[in-house]
Structures are given as structure tokens and as C-alpha cells.
Amino acid sequence: MARYTCSFTIAVPIARLRQLLVEVLQSCNLEMIHATNDFMMAREIPGQVSFAKLVTVEALIDKTTTTNTETSINLVIKNEELPLQVDNHCHQIFEVVKQAILENRDWQLVESVA
């Protein structure tokens, strides 16, 4: 199973972060399949790759470190594919999602750990 993680601290109120995060994931051709106040799950839309390569993105909003202006999120991007190559499909989607978060103009990135 391929699995990649990263963490971000973003200067945006938590109420606004949820909607922006949905938009970022949708811009990466991912569809939301579950969302709560502190957890979101999105997946790749079936049809482009084999079932084992379909990527799932889990986003955990860390409420323990959230302030009025900054919010931390932890992402886990995974699929059932064995990561036999460095540049596998899951890693490619990981890079797309990470880049979309880094380049989003609707928030200010405070910290990034990948």
C-alpha cells in the first residue's frame, strides 16, 4: 500500500478552511466522500486508473492547535498500489495535492512539513 503524509499550518479561520480545502481537493480531480467538522475524505474519480491505483485523501483538521487565525491540517494520501517505483501514481497525486495547497491564493501558508 502506497502512503504519503504531509502537514500544513495555514493562516485562515477554521470555518473558511473547510470550504477552501474542499475546493482545492476538487481542483485536483478528487470527489468528497465524507466530511465532518475535523475530518474530510476525498477520492479519485473512478475510470481513469485501475481500482488498486485509485487514491484516497484523508484530511484531519487539528483542533488542538487551532487559533483564531491559524489552522493545522494533516493529510494522508494513499492507495492499494505497492510503491515499487518512486514515481508511482499515488506519489504523483500526492505531489499534485501538495502543490495545490502550497499555491492556493486564498490562504497564507505558515508552515509545511512533507
Superfamily designation of domain 2-113: Fungal kinase associated-1 domain (3.30.310.220)
Domain regions of the chain by residue span? 2-113
pLDDT at residue 108, as a whole number: 92
Cα separations in angstroms, 100 against 6, 21, 29, 81, 84: 13, 10, 11, 23, 25
The model's pLDDT over 52-100, given as tens digits with 9 standing for 90+, comes to 899 999 999 998 888 888 999 999 999 999 888 888 999 999 999 999 9
pTM of the full structure: 0.91
pLDDT for 6: 96
Average pLDDT value for residue range 104-110: 92
**Residue 69 confidence (pLDDT):** 86
- The mean predicted confidence, pLDDT, of the chain is 93
